[in-house]
Amino acid sequence: MPASARRAPSTRARGSSRGVAERATTTRAASSEKARARDAPTTTHYEFGGPIGALAITVALPLVCYFLAYACNEDGCAEVSKLARGGAFPGFPKHMPLWSVDGAVAAYGWMAFTVVAHAVIPGQKKQGVALPDGTRLTYKLNGFRVLAATAVAGAIGTKAGWFDLASVHDNFLSMLTAMVVLAYALSAYLYASSFAKGKTLAKGGNSGNAAYDFFIGRELNPRILNGAFDLKVFCELTPGLIGWLLLDLGFAAKQYARVGAVSAPMIMVCVFQGAYVIDALWNEPAILTTMDITTDGFGFMLAFGDLVWVPFTYSLQCRYILEHAVELSNAHLVAIFAVQCVGYWVFRGANSQKNLFRTNPNDPRVKHLKTLQTKRGTKLIVSGWWGVCRHVNYLGDWIMAWAWCLPCGFSHLVPYFYVIYFGILLVHRDGRDGEACEEKYGDDWKKYCAIVKYRLIPYIY
Ligand code: NDP
């Protein structure tokens, strides 16, 4: 049940029982608010380099997004050999403004479409994990249906000439600026609204330092529309993920418009990344047990990540292939396809095994797994995928990251930004989750680490 619905006085009370019921509800709500205030965790341990690191990342992330467009575009791609002469970067293409009405209309129009679609399209109802006060929130999950609605609306709109997907190329920078502005504005709203009464705060985002808390996110599950619209789950799954796919397809459409064909490397990246997006939306309930939803508050880190970083930097490979002809032999293409298949097999196998085990440990597909019983009450899997290393799902994800970059050929390092950045992110994320698990499980986590020795890559790390 949504937090606000839990707090709302009962409207079903009738006649003489009404006053008693209202008093009882008010007392419950008041004591629940007091409990929340009492239980509101104070952050005692900084991550990301503390307030200075958080502030630096808050400023730097948009600059990295612009830099990738500045360093690699239709006018050229970064060349280290020219660095000393100052000509290493092509700069922003002249006909691509940093801000335009068309770009703003496209970006905000897309956001408006997804907000309305998420609100009106029916979805499955799933309960999240237990909150600190023992209650669980119910989530509406309809990301896959929003994707389907986007496909239908896109087909109709394109046929009718209302919009041209290829225009994302010329509007790329101005759409980026529009979304950067939106991400800062949303984060400011999230920070300010987290001070309202009765909010459940994230353990890591309540340090009292404004720059740090703004970045990490104070409130765990901010909701609007009387609790019916969960902002974090919506942003995690819908506008950014589907927006990323649209950018990829837009670059493919632009290639078709330019040369009358879509190249094999472009098709590969679109298919691989499209499969990743579809997989995430098809397995939507799995998001509810991820660190982002269960542990992190909703602040700039996730808002910017979801709305800007994912679509505008993850689409770099398609943008690169559009601007730079890449030719690969059939043997290369087959090898890259094999890398993608292996990565997906590991990634999906591991995530599904854990989800299945957490949902129904008696399911025949996971019943045989060896486990470690913990004092916390839950079991940790120590065989199967989760016996290979502690974050074998990250390993699968990273293998796929290679398959998304390799179609860009070997002329430039810039399109390999994703696989490099993602490797760093996953090492850092493994460390964060390890610390969180040590806190959750205490000595049991140490026992688990003694059994499953490697973090991300068996026998290496
Ligand atoms: P996980 O799905 O790995 O969840 C970690 C949690 O799983 C732990 O806190 C613990 O929680 C539980 N757990 C850990 N080990 C075990 C075990 N042996 N047995 C049972 N439960 C265990 O992490 P994330 O939420 O970080 O990632 C989810 C997916 O999202 C991953 O595949 C990742 O690659 C992907 N991802 C992708 C990103 C991208 O930008 N493309 C960014 C970040 C993540 P508990 O015990 O409390 O249940």
Residue at 315 is within a domain: yes
Please give the chain's pLDDT, 461 residues, in tens. 333 333 333 323 333 333 434 444 444 444 454 555 445 678 878 989 999 999 999 999 999 999 999 999 988 888 877 766 777 888 899 888 999 999 999 999 999 999 999 999 999 999 988 887 888 999 999 999 999 999 999 999 999 988 899 999 999 999 999 999 999 999 999 999 999 988 999 988 999 999 999 999 999 999 999 889 999 999 999 999 999 999 999 999 999 999 999 999 999 999 999 999 999 999 999 899 888 998 899 999 999 999 999 999 999 999 999 999 888 999 999 999 999 999 999 999 999 999 889 888 898 898 999 999 999 888 999 999 999 999 999 999 999 999 999 999 988 889 999 999 999 999 999 998 999 899 889 999 999 999 999 999 988 88
Note the pTM of the prediction, 2 decimals: 0.87
DSSP letters spanning 19-74: HHHHHHHHHHHHHHHHHHHHH-----S--TTHHHHHHHHHHHHHHHHHHHHHHEET
Alpha helices in 72-100 (DSSP H): none
Cα 238 from Cα 256, distance rounded (Å): 27
Residue at 10 is within a domain: no
DSSP letters spanning 317-328: HHHHHHHS----
Cα 390 from Cα 407, distance rounded (Å): 29
Alpha carbon separation from 408 to 91, 260, 265, 277 (Å, rounded) = 21, 20, 7, 20
* Cβ-contact 420, 85 below 8 angstroms: no
- Atom 2, ligand 1: residue with shortest CA distance: 290
Give me 179's structure tokens. 């979304």
Cα 342 from Cα 397, distance rounded (Å): 10
Residue at 35 is within a domain: no
- Atom 45, ligand 1: residue with shortest CA distance: 437
CB-based contacts of 260-265 (< 8 A; 24+ apart in sequence) = 263/321, 263/325, 263/326, 264/328, 264/333, 264/407, 265/321, 265/326, 265/328, 265/333, 265/407, 265/408, 265/409
Q: What is the tally of structural domains in the chain?
A: 1
Report the nearest atom of ligand 1 relative to the CA of 397.
Answer: 34
* Cβ-contact 205, 218 below 8 angstroms: yes
* Cβ-contact 116, 130 below 8 angstroms: no
Virtual torsion, Cα 454, 455, 458, 461, nearest 10 deg: -90
- DSSP state letter for 348: H
> 273: CA distance to ligand 1 center in Å?
20
Alpha carbon separation from 379 to 112, 367, 394 (Å, rounded) = 42, 12, 20
Alpha carbon separation from 284 to 82, 146, 171, 278 (Å, rounded) = 46, 12, 30, 9
- Atom 24, ligand 1: residue with shortest CA distance: 290
Residue at 3 is within a domain: no
> 161: CA distance to ligand 1 center in Å?
43
> 279: CA distance to ligand 1 center in Å?
16
Shortest CA distance to 129 belongs to which of 288, 5, 237, 285?
Answer: 288
> 291: CA distance to ligand 1 center in Å?
7
Report the nearest atom of ligand 1 relative to the CA of 386.
Answer: 18
Alpha carbon separation from 450 to 394, 433, 446 (Å, rounded) = 20, 17, 6
Cα 325 from Cα 53, distance rounded (Å): 39
Number of helices followed by number of strands (H, E) in the chain: 19, 8
Q: What is the total residue count of the chain?
A: 461
Residue at 64 is within a domain: yes
Alpha carbon separation from 24 to 18, 27, 32, 265, 454 (Å, rounded) = 10, 5, 12, 64, 53
Q: Ligand 1 pocket: which of 241, 344, 351 to mutate (most atoms <8 Å of CB)?
A: 351
Report the nearest atom of ligand 1 relative to the CA of 448.
Answer: 18
Cα 302 from Cα 234, distance rounded (Å): 11
Residue at 374 is within a domain: yes
Residue at 6 is within a domain: no
Cα 424 from Cα 429, distance rounded (Å): 8
Pocket of ligand 1 (CB under 6 A): 290-291, 347, 351, 354, 358, 378, 380-381, 386, 391, 393-394, 397, 429, 433, 436-437, 440
The answer for 96, left when phi > 0, alpha when psi is -120 to 50, beta otherwise, is beta
Cα 277 from Cα 323, distance rounded (Å): 24
For the four alpha carbons of 149, 116, 250 and 412, in that order, the dihedral sign comes to: negative
* Cβ-contact 328, 341 below 8 angstroms: no
Cα 106 from Cα 117, distance rounded (Å): 16
Which pLDDT belongs to residue 439?
A: 87
For the four alpha carbons of 406, 411, 415 and 421, in that order, the dihedral sign comes to: positive
Q: What range defines the domain where residue 245 resides? A: 53-451
Cα 408 from Cα 327, distance rounded (Å): 9
